[in-house]
Structure 1
Amino acid sequence: MSWTTRLRILYQTFFLFVFLWLLARLAASDPRDLPFGAFFHSDPLAAVAVVFSSATLPGALVWGTALLLCTIVFGRVFCGWVCPLGTLQQLASWILSPRSRRESLAVNRYRRWYAVKYYLLAALLLAAAAGTLQTGLLDPLSTLARGLASAVWPLLPGRRPVPGGWIAGALVLAILLASRWIPRLFCRAFCPLGALLGVFARFALFRISRRQEACTTCNLCAFACQGADEPLGQHRVAECHVCLNCTAACPEGALAYRWLATTPPAEAPDLSRRYLIGSALGGLVAAPLLQVAGGGRSVANARLLRPPGARAESEFLARCIKCSLCQQACPTGALQPAIGQAGVEGFWTPVLVPRRGWCEFACTRCGEVCPTGAIQPLEAARKTGYDGREPVKIGTAFVDRGRCLPWGMQIPCIVCEEMCPTHPKAVWVELVQETTRDGRRVALQRPWVEPQRCVGCGICENRCPVGEEAAIRVLSVGETRDPLNRILLPAG
């Protein structure tokens, strides 16, 4: 094993460990100010897509543009040396399918359908330009983080399964198992981030160079190739992961990674103009359909509760990359991935589910870790209203008198009033004396909600002892992010 291969493996191991460690510490509610979103801040696909969808570039995503500049100089080094999902695929390929030299040569050939990733990139970016951001569905960083948050961490002792988490886990598992047949198949054929980097890598200043007079056509470079970029022929620079396996494998020293290599590259990516235009048009057409499908933006959903600090729904969806960092940061497990609550467009975006958990009164973790500003960072004093302004409202609690124990069943209960964290309490009780059916006198404390004081944290709904559907439920009515979402219709 050459020193370059050892160095690359060391880098891959380091970045994979850091990625997993940061997510694990985030899920464990580590109070330290760690760079939990560092990988996502460096994601150029997220940066470009958010610019397309919201016409803004959040400051934290500037590092993503820096990675594009790095790609223009060094090529797709992120894919070969940094990407944690790429590293896991490489490991899966090594474990699941030890191949002979002949088999490796066969699977490492470039196939024209590997260009699918460029068509996906075109469709996703044009959909983003039309106002629907869906790059997070296939972004490798979001895909891996979401799979871990929704399918792996919930398996640990003391944690509960995430509804629909198996979908995110199955996607990651399928990506890894695909390496059984073709190494890093997702990277080669379906990764939109790899496609974006490939577009810029086409102009890389450092690239693989081949001295034809020294080459003996032994095929060892193709045998060791990680990205199916065919270093033996006209090198496909846009597909090269810069793993440097080929330079290490060449016994004649015919291959080298050089500045301004003179070897003419292949015309790549090899795209069909018809398919490219069709993909772009498909993205444009899909955008408005996704926005209305499944009762999305077109239908007000009173049970759609977004995290505190979330932007107005259209702005939120134009920035959310479905990375699940907020979900992992939530200390009570209140934030869950949306399966159907937010329509098709909002699939896998975060929603607050009070029966699963509640929003801690002074907690602002979700906004602190959001890499795109879909959830705006809040100071605790701003969220709670202790800065003199109105507190940030997620929604408003409403009592269902037919299910409430004191109201509908003459059974004493004051759980919701006891748990209410606001001061003065938004939930207050009225002391009444009632006669039961058998003639007994019973003292009851019936709960009422003062809407102006309720912040919609959901702890009353979470702790309500009534089974299945709680007797007090939080609706999005009155939420800070939408001034039109009010219980009373405007006059006139």
Structure 2
Amino acid sequence: MKRRVVQSISFFLHNGYLGFPFTKNLYTGPLKGLCAPGLNCYSCPASLFSCPLGVLQNLLSASRVLNWQVLLGPFLYVLGFFLIFGLTLGRFICGWVCPFGLFQDLIYKIPFFKIRLSLPKRSQKYLKHLMLIGLVFFIPLFLGDEIGYGILGFCKYLCPAGTLEAGYLNIIISSELWDYIGKLFYLKSAILLVFVFFVVIDYRFFCKNVCPLGLIYGLFNKVSFLRLNVNLNRCTHCKACEKICPVGLNPLEEINSVECIRCLNCVKICPHKAIYLEKGIYQNAISSSCSK
């Protein structure tokens, strides 16, 4: 319940511009120059902030035609943004802050058959890295449009949050946009429907297998200020934590894994409080007073 409240507050902080039904325009105020931590489309009419993945792609795209001296400041801002949020929270952002994470949680509640569809660990790892390296870095840097700027690969071809928040909401409030809908919009709509289907039957399918933003935050999980720890002296190996983990991890062996979204279900379920939330500089992920 507490996590859902925090997620809801975060959703409205990301999307707090309530004037869009009247202006039928995007918010362009000073907050739009800042990134919000979750996956939330810049072009959503309600969005107050920029998406960090979108900003990163735009900078890489612009580097094809603009002098690096012009882009140095924005690049340092984006780098600092990921370092600050990664080193403080890690993938806690995915479990508690991300608007698209909340959307997946709610969709999963639809009554339907449920099954874990996580790809094999190696394939899962490679797919997310492919999304990050290929769509977020390679395409903006090396594939240009008609005026020379790079193509925003993830935003243009895949991002389901962009299709849902920007695509559909914009055509709802501005009916004239229907005249500009083309094959790419239908393709992205099909991709969104595929993701929705898989999210209905498998909890956080997009987070586990695809999301490049979650991968970036996950790389900081082991060293972030806020992380999990295990006291093996208290653990009875009842496997309650493994059974409740929504992303299929074994917390005892994969504590602070890149895949862990920090939902804290394992902390709540553990009858002996062997798993706990730790705050501070990096230490061994398994309590130093314990040994296997």
Same fold by TM-score, threshold 0.5 exceeded?
yes
Instruction: Show the counterpart of 1:130.
Output: 142
Residue 63 of structure 1: CA displacement? 6.2
Instruction: Show the counterpart of 1:13.
Output: 8
1:82 to 80, 94, 97: 97
Kept in 1: contact 2:221–2:227 (CA 8 A): no
1:213 to 225, 228, 233: 233
Gaps of 5+ in 1: 1-5, 266-492
Cα distance change, pair 25–111 in 1 and its aligned pair in 2 (3 A): farther
1:44 to 48, 52, 60: 52
Gaps of 5+ in 2: 37-41, 43-48, 144-149, 288-292
Kept in 1: contact 2:157–2:188 (CA 8 A): no
The within-5 A match list for 1:235-384 is 235-259=255-279, 260-264=282-286
The within-5 A match list for 1:380-419 is none
2:23 to 29, 32, 38: 29
Kept in 2: contact 1:208–1:231 (CA 8 A): no
Residue 144 of structure 1: CA displacement? 1.8
Larger radius of gyration: 1
* Distance in 2 separating the partners of 1:155 and 1:45: 25
Instruction: Show the counterpart of 1:94.
Output: 109
Q: Secondary structure at the match of 1:172?
A: helix
Kept in 1: contact 2:60–2:141 (CA 8 A): yes
Letter in 1 for 2:154: T
2:77 to 62, 74, 92: 62
Kept in 1: contact 2:90–2:219 (CA 8 A): no
Residue 86 of structure 1: CA displacement? 1.4
Query: What percentage of aligned pairs have identical amino acids?
Result: 23
Kept in 1: contact 2:90–2:226 (CA 8 A): yes
Would you say 1:163 and 2:157 are equivalent positions?
Answer: no
Letter in 2 for 1:209: N
Kept in 2: contact 1:110–1:228 (CA 8 A): no
Greater share of residues in helix: 2
* Distance in 2 separating the partners of 1:7 and 1:229: 22
* Distance in 1 separating the partners of 2:8 and 2:16: 12
Greater share of residues in strand: 1
Q: Secondary structure at the match of 1:256?
A: strand
Return the structure number with greater relative CO, CA threshold 8 A, min gap 6: 2
Q: Secondary structure at the match of 1:232?
A: coil
Kept in 2: contact 1:47–1:62 (CA 8 A): no
Q: Secondary structure at the match of 2:220?
A: helix
Cα distance change, pair 37–154 in 1 and its aligned pair in 2 (3 A): farther
* Distance in 1 separating the partners of 2:156 and 2:174: 28
* Distance in 2 separating the partners of 1:255 and 1:138: 40
State TM-score, norm by structure 2. 0.70
Would you say 1:226 and 2:238 are equivalent positions?
Answer: no
Residue 255 of structure 1: CA displacement? 0.5
Instruction: Compare 247-256 and 148-157 and name the one that shifted more.
Output: 148-157
Instruction: Show the counterpart of 2:88.
Output: 73
Aligned length: 252
* Distance in 2 separating the partners of 1:204 and 1:139: 29
